[in-house]
Amino acid sequence: MSLLRFKMLETALSHTAKEVAAPSSNPSDYFGELVFGRKQMRKYLNTQTYNALIDTIENNTPLTQDVADAIAAGMRQWALEHGADHYCHWFQPLTGGTAEKHDSFAEPDGYGNVIEEFSGKVLIQQEPDASSFPSGGIRNTFEARGYSAWDPTSPAFIVDTTLCIPTLFISYTGEALDYKTPLLRSISAVSKAATEICRYFDKNVEHVYTFLGWEQEYFLIDDALWAARPDLVQTGRTLMGHEAAKNQQLDDHYFGAIPSRVLAFMKDLEYECLKLGIPLKTRHNEVAPNQFELAPVYEEMNLANDHNQLIITIMHKVALRHHFRVLLHEKPFQGINGSGKHNNWSLGTNTGVNLLSPGKTAFENLQFITFLVNVIAAVHKHNGLLKASVMSATNEHRLGAGEAPPTIISTFLGSQISSVLDKIESSRSSEDIRFDAKNVFRMSGLSQIPSLLLDNTDRNRTSPFAFTGNRFEFRAVGSSDNCAEAMIVINTAVAEQLAEFKRIVDAKIERGEKKEKAIYESIRQTIKQCKAVRFDGNGYSDEWRAEAAERGLDCETSTPIVFDRYLDASTVEMFSKMGVYNKIELEARTEIKWEMYVKKVQIEARVLGDLAMNHIVPIASKYGGVLLDKAWKMKELGISSNTDIELIEMIQRRTAKIQTLVREMIDSRKRANRIEDMREKAIAYHDTVSVYLELIRDEIDHLEEVVDDQIWTLPKYREILFIK
């Protein structure tokens, strides 16, 4: 074993569980204590200010300068009392992750003293000098600066000693440069459209909320071993590494006992998260060795997404205290499962009804089926776009890999719901819909749903978009994604579809049809239209691939081409009609997607080229030399050394192949770099550069099998992947 590898392994083995005790065993004692939530607002703001802020949060009422100043003063006082000395506008740029620029509360007063300055103006708006964030060309002109604007609907919080204020990040001309702005727009679009539909059923509905419950998968590895793998450090995944003899075949990791070091990390993380008001609920081992998952209780979508972004920051921080590194790459290790982020999506009313939950009466179920069918129709119409929303240079290694959702978006409903829809589709309304003596709507299939659903156990793990009893679960989202990207698409597509549905129903009512019948008929029509996207079978099978193509679903697998869906006429129309993105924003964001794709593959190609040439080839050659020396001497002594010669030839063949492939890869990269058009460049990287990563890796992994373990420098899978 090389000295470095030995030292790192020794260090890793010396790391033991580091218990961190929460100050109280009762989470309600500290839940949300670092959040400027309603309880804190009540305490630190006077009644008038508090009421004005609540009015802004709930009804979007603009704040006056005076009120903003009063809020800022209260918030500052609370923050100072809780150990903060800086504040920052916290936003979600398109690079992924979150950005923060810290400013001190203390400002020089010009007379040699400092005053604690934090006005309503700086709370509401800032102009961070953040010109390096990608804008897809939107901010190319000198006056088009980006600024951050307070999002009062997501409460401020304290991390370390900084008050973080959740903000939107927009260009001077109003275009969104982040994830939060379009997410809020899409939430408001779907809320408006859904509220209008709800009012067919219940006039008391005034608002529809959009909920998100995310489940986050991740890997943990020891930080010493991480540091000895330049590929992990630079790209977040291993670009080489022979599979360990034992990995996940025995399924002994899944839901197994959590290793004590990991449990200590999880407890520490939970404590930090609960203080920040993130309602973490579950934690468990995942399928692959060293893979874990955590999930909070679902929340209103904007807050849920902020919490997911925040937890990612906190995870990295807490991990370091336990000598771990968190890997959020979708496919950090070949041959074992990758990581995703399941997004559980649902809609609920201000009257407390989950619109994706069956009700007790036929009338309630008509509402449930209305929403269910319209969601399916939205997914059908925009299935290619939905895929584009989760595609990336990193997630492309996971999607379609036979362990994760396939690269074709379909919905799974389970046999009971499917049969209800089939029944509606084939029914003849004159026979199946009845109104009894009191004019109450009856329909046998719809009246029976609740009892049937109790047995919704046949959940299909191969489906990317599954109905799971009271919500849809989008499972194709990548572990490193910002959930918003996918949620923006689903919210907007559902908003568009609901608006269209309403138009059709209203036209029928205007022609004199009874409301229930008009809705029922429109549902029947919609079920017929979107049938192609419903698939309850095995999403991994080859037959499905062929059938999906026949059904007209999007089967494209090349990531840069999948991004084209963002610029389809139907996409542009949908986003602009729903007020979520204009054409300029869509073009800019797609440009950024291509650019990020190029950069990620470019970095991987560079790292692999370097490692191949300055780690692998020298080590393998050195071992080849040792064998050659031995064979030479044996020949002199007249002893046969055929097997050594075979090995020498194999090593020579593979090292020569690696050298050739690396040279070719560099040439391909150079050719691709000369392409101006970003889309074309991304396609070139996909088709002519990334292919080399696999070819080179294959040669290296074969060498790892035969080269003397004593001189191999990089920690191996079997060492990295099994935390004790």
CB-nearer residue toward ligand ADP: 137 or 469: 469
Asked if 611 and 239 count as a contact pair (C-beta separation under 8 A), the reply is: yes
Percentage helix, strand, coil, to 5, in the chain?
A: 50, 15, 35
**Which partner in Mg ion, ligand ADP, none is near 297 (CB below 5 to 8 A by kind)?**
ligand ADP
Asked if 161 and 85 count as a contact pair (C-beta separation under 8 A), the reply is: yes
Site string for ligand ADP, 490-509 (x = CB under 6 A): --------------------
CB-nearer residue toward ligand ADP: 345 or 692: 345
CB-nearer residue toward ligand ADP: 306 or 516: 306
Q: How far is the CB of 578 from ligand ADP (least distance, A)?
A: 21
Beta strands in 443-510 (DSSP E): 465-467, 472-474
**Which partner in Mg ion, ligand ADP, none is near 285 (CB below 5 to 8 A by kind)?**
none
User: How would you classify residue 174: left for phi > 0, otherwise alpha for psi between -120 and 50, otherwise beta?
Assistant: left
**Residue 215 backbone dihedrals phi, psi, to 5 degrees:** -120, 125
Site string for ligand ADP, 327-346 (x = CB under 6 A): ---------------x-x-x
Residues contacting 44, CB < 8 A, separation 6+: 36, 74, 75, 77, 78
Q: Which two tokens stand for residue 76?
A: 């500052």
Scan residues 279-308 and list those touching ligand ADP (CB under 6 A): 282, 295, 297-298
Q: Does 342 bind Mg ion (CB under 5 A)?
A: yes
Site string for ligand ADP, 39-68 (x = CB under 6 A): ------------------------------
CB-nearer residue toward ligand ADP: 212 or 620: 212
Q: Does 185 bind Mg ion (CB under 5 A)?
A: no
Residue nearest to ligand ADP (CB): 213
CB-nearer residue toward ligand ADP: 37 or 279: 279
What one-character DSSP code corresponds to residue 478? B
CB-nearer residue toward ligand ADP: 27 or 137: 27
Q: How far is the CB of 510 from ligand ADP (least distance, A)?
A: 34
CB-nearer residue toward ligand ADP: 215 or 231: 215
Q: Which two tokens stand for residue 666?
A: 């560099």
Scan residues 183-222 and list those touching ligand ADP (CB under 6 A): 211, 213, 215
Q: Which stretch binds Mg ion (CB under 5 A): 129-137, 326-334, 342-350, 702-710?
A: 342-350
The Cα–Cα gap between 203 and 260 comes to 54
CB-nearer residue toward Mg ion: 342 or 387: 342
**Which partner in ligand ADP, Mg ion, none is near 298 (CB below 5 to 8 A by kind)?**
ligand ADP
Q: How far is the CB of 463 from ligand ADP (least distance, A)?
A: 12
Q: Which stretch binds Mg ion (CB under 5 A): 145-153, 200-208, 313-321, 336-344?
A: 336-344
Q: Exposed/middle/buried for 392, CB within 10 Å: 0-12, 13-18, 19+?
A: buried
The Cα–Cα gap between 373 and 527 comes to 6
**Which partner in Mg ion, ligand ADP, none is near 308 (CB below 5 to 8 A by kind)?**
none
Q: Which stretch binds Mg ion (CB under 5 A): 91-99, 172-180, 210-218, 329-337?
A: 210-218
Residues contacting 713, CB < 8 A, separation 6+: 2, 4, 5, 228, 615, 619
SS3 for 22-72 is CCCCCHHHCCCCCECCHHHHHHHCCHHHHHHHHHHHHHCCCCCHHHHHHHH
**Which partner in Mg ion, ligand ADP, none is near 471 (CB below 5 to 8 A by kind)?**
ligand ADP
SS3 for 154-167 is CCCEEECCEEEEEE
Q: How far is the CB of 269 from ligand ADP (least distance, A)?
A: 16
Site string for ligand ADP, 659-678 (x = CB under 6 A): --------------------
The Cα–Cα gap between 560 and 591 comes to 10
**3-class secondary structure, 655:** helix
**CA-based diameter of the chain, in Å?**
108
Site string for ligand ADP, 456-475 (x = CB under 6 A): --------------xx----
The Cα–Cα gap between 17 and 258 comes to 12
Q: How far is the CB of 282 from ligand ADP (least distance, A)?
A: 5
CB-nearer residue toward ligand ADP: 7 or 459: 459
**Which partner in Mg ion, ligand ADP, none is near 346 (CB below 5 to 8 A by kind)?**
ligand ADP
CB-nearer residue toward ligand ADP: 345 or 535: 345
Residues contacting 677, CB < 8 A, separation 6+: none
SS3 for 419-432 is HHHHHHHHCCHHHH
**Which partner in Mg ion, ligand ADP, none is near 213 (CB below 5 to 8 A by kind)?**
ligand ADP
The Cα–Cα gap between 427 and 275 comes to 54
The Cα–Cα gap between 399 and 340 comes to 9
CB-nearer residue toward Mg ion: 342 or 398: 342
Scan residues 338-397 and list those touching ligand ADP (CB under 6 A): 342, 344, 346, 354
Q: How far is the CB of 388 from ligand ADP (least distance, A)?
A: 23
CB-nearer residue toward Mg ion: 214 or 692: 214
**3-class secondary structure, 553:** coil
Name the pairing type of β-strands 99-104 and 162-171.
unpaired
Q: How many residues bind ligand ADP (CB under 6 A)?
A: 13
**3-class secondary structure, 579:** coil
Q: How far is the CB of 297 from ligand ADP (least distance, A)?
A: 5
**Which partner in ligand ADP, Mg ion, none is near 470 (CB below 5 to 8 A by kind)?**
ligand ADP
Q: Exposed/middle/buried for 225, CB within 10 Å: 0-12, 13-18, 19+?
A: buried
| 58, 121, 178, 719 from 149: Cα distances, Å | 17, 10, 11, 47
Q: Which stretch binds Mg ion (CB under 5 A): 156-164, 337-345, 682-690, 715-723?
A: 337-345
Neighbours of 273 (CB within 10 A): 21
CB-nearer residue toward ligand ADP: 200 or 298: 298
CB-nearer residue toward Mg ion: 247 or 343: 343
**What residues make contact with Mg ion under the rule CB under 5 A?**
215, 342
**What residues make contact with ligand ADP under the rule CB under 6 A?**
211, 213, 215, 282, 295, 297-298, 342, 344, 346, 354, 470-471
